[in-house]
Amino acid sequence: MDDLGRDLLSTTLWQRRMALARPAIGLAVYALAIYYHLWLLAPLIIFWIFVAVVTVTHDIVHGTIGLNARQTEWGLFFMGAFLLESGHAYRATHQQHHRVFPGPDDPEGDPARLTTLQSILYGPVFIPKLWLWSYRRMQGNAAQRRWLAIEASLHIIAVIAALLTWSIVPGFALYVAGVVVGSWVYPLLTVHLPHKDYGDTELTQTHTLRGVVIPAIFLELTYHLEHHLYPQVPSHNLPKLAKRLDPFFERSGVEPWHVP
pLDDT in tens, the chain (260 residues): 778 999 999 999 999 999 999 999 999 999 999 999 999 999 999 999 999 999 999 999 999 999 999 999 999 999 999 999 999 999 999 999 999 998 889 999 999 999 999 999 999 999 999 999 999 999 999 999 999 999 999 999 999 999 999 999 999 999 999 999 999 999 999 999 999 889 888 999 998 888 888 888 887 888 999 999 999 999 999 999 999 999 999 999 998 888 88
Please, what is the Cα angle at 141 between 140 and 142, to 5 degrees?
Answer: 100
C-alpha to C-alpha distance for 242 and 248, rounded to whole angstroms: 10
What is the maximum span of the chain, computed from C-alpha positions, in angstroms? 61
pLDDT at residue 2, rounded to an integer: 79
Q: Which of 156, 128, 133, 155 is nearest to 144 (CA)?
A: 133
C-alpha to C-alpha distance for 214 and 71, rounded to whole angstroms: 31
Q: Which of 5, 8, 6 is nearest to 235 (CA)?
A: 8
Cβ proximity of 19 and 66 under 8 Å: no
C-alpha to C-alpha distance for 236 and 241, rounded to whole angstroms: 10
CA gyration radius, the chain: 19
Residue 257 β-bridge partners: 209
Please, what is the Cα angle at 184 between 37 and 191, to 5 degrees?
Answer: 130
- Hey, what amino acid is at 22? R
C-alpha to C-alpha distance for 222 and 211, rounded to whole angstroms: 9
CA torsion through residues 94, 96, 100, 104, sign: negative
Model pTM score: 0.93
pLDDT tens readout for residues 90-104? 999 999 999 999 888
C-alpha to C-alpha distance for 135 and 249, rounded to whole angstroms: 39
Q: At what angle do helices 42-61 and 87-100 cross, to 10 degrees?
A: 60
Q: Which of 150, 137, 164, 19 is nearest to 85 (CA)?
A: 150
C-alpha to C-alpha distance for 87 and 85, rounded to whole angstroms: 6
pLDDT at residue 176, rounded to an integer: 98
